[in-house]
């Protein structure tokens, strides 16, 4: 599979890739921390930073949903998996059955 270049957009809408959005967010933080921007420039850059942060968070949430965890092996030796469920990324509570499984 070909590796994406950092300057290539991630999709047809021209949205930056995760890596691009993260780099842009880091640049915004450096600029804001430098103290060299006017108030108006700082507000504009802050808004851009929030947009990049949301884009990164959304991408990470999508990736997390695709992760599957190995639970056990079945009788034939095949891996039994289930969707990754992390407390920080779920707004719904974990089933009590699932909690019991991890408590042992």
The DSSP line for 35-48 is T-S-HHHHHHHHHH
Give the pTM. 0.56
Task: Spell out the domain ranges in the chain.
Answer: 15-86
Q: What is the C-alpha separation between 13 and 36, in angstroms, rounded? A: 32
pLDDT in tens, 2-53: 454 455 556 667 889 999 999 999 999 999 999 999 999 999 999 999 999 9
Which candidate, 29, 51, 32, places its Cα nearest to that of 42? 32
Helix (H) or strand (E) holding 32: helix 18-34
Q: Are 50 and 42 in contact (CB under 8 A)?
A: no
Task: Centre a 10 Å sphere on the Cβ of residue 28 and count the other Cβ atoms it contains.
Answer: 21
């Amino acid at each position: 599979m070909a590796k994406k270049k950092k300057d290539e957009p991630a999709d047809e809408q021209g949205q930056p890739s995760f890596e691009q959005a993260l780099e842009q967010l880091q640049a915004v933080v450096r600029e804001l921390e430098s103290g060299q921007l006017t108030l108006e420039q700082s507000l504009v850059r802050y808004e851009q930073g929030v947009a990049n942060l949301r884009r990164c968070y959304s991408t990470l949430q999508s990736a997390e949903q695709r992760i599957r965890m190995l639970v056990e092996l079945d009788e034939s030796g095949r891996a039994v998996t289930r969707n990754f469920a992390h407390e920080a990324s779920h707004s719904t509570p974990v089933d009590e059955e699932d909690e019991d499984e991890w408590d042992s």
